[in-house]
Amino acid sequence: MATVTLTAENFDEVAQGDGIVLVDFWAEWCGPCRRFAPVYEKSAGKHDDIVFGKVDTEAQPELSERFGIASIPTLMAIRDGVIVFAEPGALPDSVLENVIEQVRGLDMEDVRRRLEA
């Protein structure tokens, strides 16, 4: 599956749905972002059931502000409309795959209970 460009206009619609959405906050001028991009694209090709979104922080500063993005690249994982992971840094392939498996394995009822407490 190809990556989806996320903007202030479509972010909530994409992120609030059921399932897993990964978001890569990046910028063209960022070297680590450019190195992470092929890893992210490769993973997107392996996981048809996950939405792989990209937020260009230069074009979408309001999204960066909204989520407190202070360093790029930052990877955010959203499952069933809940942010379950957000970490700056360019991840190697094996670490990205590990994050995906951990997000898949979450008990979302337990996550929601913990958020409400």
Please tell me the pTM assigned to this model.
0.94
Told to judge if 30 belongs to the known catalytic residues of this protein, a careful annotator would answer yes
Catalytic pick among 6, 20, 30, 69: 30
State the average pLDDT over residues 78-82.
Answer: 94
Catalytic pick among 20, 21, 22, 33: 33
pLDDT in tens, 23-73: 999 999 999 999 999 999 999 999 999 999 999 999 999 999 999 999 999
pLDDT in tens, 81-111: 999 999 999 999 999 999 999 999 999 999 8
Told to judge if 33 belongs to the known catalytic residues of this protein, a careful annotator would answer yes
C-alpha distances in Å from residue 73, one per residue of 17, 32, 55, 108, 112: 24, 7, 10, 26, 27
Helix (H) or strand (E) holding 95: helix 93-104
pLDDT at residue 1 is higher than 80: no
Q: Which residue has the higher pLDDT, 62 or 114?
A: 62
Ordered domains of the chain (ranges, CATH)? 4-116 (3.40.30.10)
If DSSP codes are grouped into helix, strand and coil, which group holds residue 6? coil
Q: Cα-Cα-Cα-Cα dihedral of 76, 48, 60, 74, to 10°?
A: 30
